[in-house]
Amino acid sequence: MSVNHRPARSGHIRQAQTWDDPAVLSTALQIQPDDDVLSVCAAGDNAFALAIDGARSVTCVHPHRAQLALAELKLLAARVMPVQGLQSILGFDIGGNRVSLYRRRVRDHLSAEARTWWDAHEDMIRAGIVQQGRQAQNLARFRRRVLPLVHRTKTIRDLLALDRPEEQRTFFEAHWNTRRWRALVRLGLSDAMLAWRSSPTVRRDSEADSASQVFRQRAEHVLCTIPARTNYLLHGILTGSFPDLEAAHPYLSTTGRAALAERAERVRFVVSELEAFLKDCAPQSFSAFHYASIFEQLDAESHSRILTLTARAARPGARICYWNRLVPRWRPDALAVQIERDEALGATLLARDRSWFCSAVQVETVR
Spell out the domain ranges in the chain: 1-69+131-367
Q: 223-259: b or e for each residue (b if 16 or more CB lie within 10 Å)? A: bbebebeebbbbbbbbeeebbebeebbbbbbeebbeb
CB neighbourhood size of 280 (10 A) = 12
Q: C-alpha 69: how far from its chain's center?
A: 16
Q: Is the distance from CB of 290 to CB of 37 less than 8 angstroms?
A: yes
- CATH fold of the domain at 1-69+131-367: Rossmann fold (3.40.50)
Q: Is the distance from CB of 63 to CB of 297 less than 8 angstroms?
A: no
Angle at 350 between CA 311 and CA 210, to 5 degrees: 95
pLDDT of the residue at 9: 44
List the pLDDT tens digit at each of the 367 positions of the chain: 766 644 344 468 999 999 999 999 999 999 999 999 999 998 999 999 999 999 999 999 999 999 999 999 999 999 999 999 999 999 998 777 999 999 999 999 999 999 999 999 999 999 999 998 888 998 899 899 999 999 999 999 999 999 999 999 999 999 999 999 998 887 755 444 444 444 555 545 555 456 778 888 999 999 999 999 999 999 999 999 999 999 999 999 999 999 999 999 999 999 999 999 999 999 999 999 999 999 998 999 999 999 999 999 999 999 999 999 988 999 999 999 999 999 999 999 999 999 988 999 999 999 9
User: DSSP state, 9?
Assistant: B
Count of residues in the chain? 367
Cα separation, 292 vs 112, in Å, equals 27
* Beta carbons within 8 Å of 32's beta carbon, 6+ residues apart: 54, 287
pTM comes to: 0.93
